[in-house]
Amino acid sequence: MNNNHNIESSNENAYSGQEAYDNAKKRVGQLKGFYWHLLSYIVINMVILIMISRTVDSAHFWTFNVFSTVFYWGIGIFFHFMGVFGKNVFLGKNWEDKKVQEYLEKEEKQNWE
């Protein structure tokens, strides 16, 4: 029976190791996909803007029509970014907990004064 437990434990460790590897590989694939998307966004929009700048006068260059591709594709890039990095990228995973703790400590300090 003890030997059976060791085999099961070994299988669980191997499974969790394989699962961790698969998750890491998936994450790397997501990052790679985002970076390729960002690179193509930058390069293609630079080419488009350079081509447009050579064909229209400067007064018409600064219109929304010229920058609409940059704008709408930029929205797509933003959502891709949020999908890959998550909503916690700006404030961090524990930001809310840290702020609550900070305010509790401030209140406690004020109560002692």
Q: Do the beta carbons of residue 37 and residue 80 sit within 8 Å?
A: yes
Q: Residue 92: which region, alpha, beta or left (left: phi > 0; alpha: psi -120 to 50)? A: left
Q: Do the beta carbons of residue 71 and residue 39 sit within 8 Å?
A: no
Quick: pLDDT tens for 55-110.
998 888 999 999 999 999 999 999 999 999 887 777 777 878 888 888 888 887 77
Distance CA(43)–CA(40), nearest Å, equals: 5
- DSSP H helices in the chain: 2-55, 58-61, 64-85, 95-112
Residue ranges of domains in the chain: 2-112
Residue 30 makes CB contacts below 8 A (sequence gap 6+) with 83, 84
Question: In the structure, what pLDDT confidence band is assigned to residue 8 with cuts at 50, 70 and 90?
Answer: low
Percent of the chain with pLDDT over 90: 50
Looking at every residue in the chain, the average pLDDT score rounds to 85
